[in-house]
Amino acid sequence: MPRVRLGQNLEVSAIGLGCMGMAEFYGVPDEAESIRTIHGAIDRGMDFLDTADMYGAGLSEEIVGKALSGGHRERVTLATKCGLVRTADGVRIDGRPEHVARAVDASLRRLRTDHIDLYYLHRVDPDVPVEESVGAMAELVRAGKVRHLGLSEAGTRTITAAHAVHPLTAVQTEYSLASRNPERAILPTVRRLGIGFVAYSPFSRGLLSGEIADTRLGADDLRRGLPRFSEENLPHNLDLVTRIHTLAADHGWSPARFALAWLVAQGVVPIPGAQTRTHMAENASAGAIRLPAQVLRAVDELVPAGAFAGERFPEHLLAIVQED
């Protein structure tokens, strides 16, 4: 697995492992297989692990902590997040300094470690100046509990303001062949400031990987509530996916490997989720692919930025992310 540098010289694997689905959202969690998947990823050099205290209300961190016990901890770069809190009604944002201080200690216990390599603010709290949230996170660096800081789903003004308080190592935002909004302003900003970029949902929730073969989603499929998967938009988007898959097949690449290799070619670090060793191994193998310039040009011709129909989130969730 190739190595790359985020901001502040933090070196990570070119493709990381997202651990959200090990706790919820994608079927019944299988803890034993998740742990085997994490161990297999480490052995393949995919040693940048991403989780959050919100995933499974702490379950994802607990699974990662179990997997890293017994000598594996020092073999990985461990990232987690704070700032989203599960409630009886859903989720609320909490970026208050006192919450940050409590959250990190709880994460350290679940992860069974004395430090977190990269600590993100999961969402920016509209009621708390980001300087206050990041200031509290900077105190954790000084205390030795955290080594690097990042933001998730933050816009350019927020990134710039936070970076002035404490140098950021990474900004994490959804980015894929289907979600190219970061190219407008966020990517230019982080590159100018020397901050790394981490891309979550690199398959656009299964749209790009071939998981969805037709327009009939199950009645209990969570994607039915996402505009990109609506009855109006999904047929158009699947036509675009077919173009991508055909291009990938012409070069002998699976859709998933191609989607990841495209992101690596953009100079970002994708963190695909994987709940099984089989999916993890396929994702890891994409690190060896180098897309030729003519293939990158073909992508822009076949599926230019903005080609996919529908927003990535419904309106109420778009309200808590910063697009530019």
Q: List active site positions.
A: 55
Candidates 202, 129, 205, 131; CA nearest to 168 is 131
Rounded to a whole number of angstroms, the distance between the first and last alpha carbons of the chain is 32
257: helix, strand or coil: helix
Strand runs labelled E in the chain: 3-5, 11-13, 17-18, 48-50, 77-82, 84-87, 90-93, 116-121, 146-152, 170-174, 196-200, 269-270
Contacts of 241 (CB under 8 A, 6+ apart): 207, 208, 210, 212, 255
Query: In 143-185, which ranges are continuous DSSP H helix?
Result: 156-165
| Alpha-carbon separation of residue 48 from 3, 232, 311 (angstroms) | 10, 37, 29
SS3 labels along 203-237: CCCCCCCCCCCCCCCCCCCHHHHCHHHCCCCHHHH
What tokens does 101 get? 């201080």
The enclosing H or E element of 299 equals helix 293-302
Do the beta carbons of residue 78 and residue 118 sit within 8 Å?
yes
93: helix, strand or coil: strand
- Return the exposure string of 160-193: e unless at least 16 CB atoms fall within 10 Å of the residue's CB, then b: bebbebbbbbbbbbbbbbbbbbbeebbbebbeeb
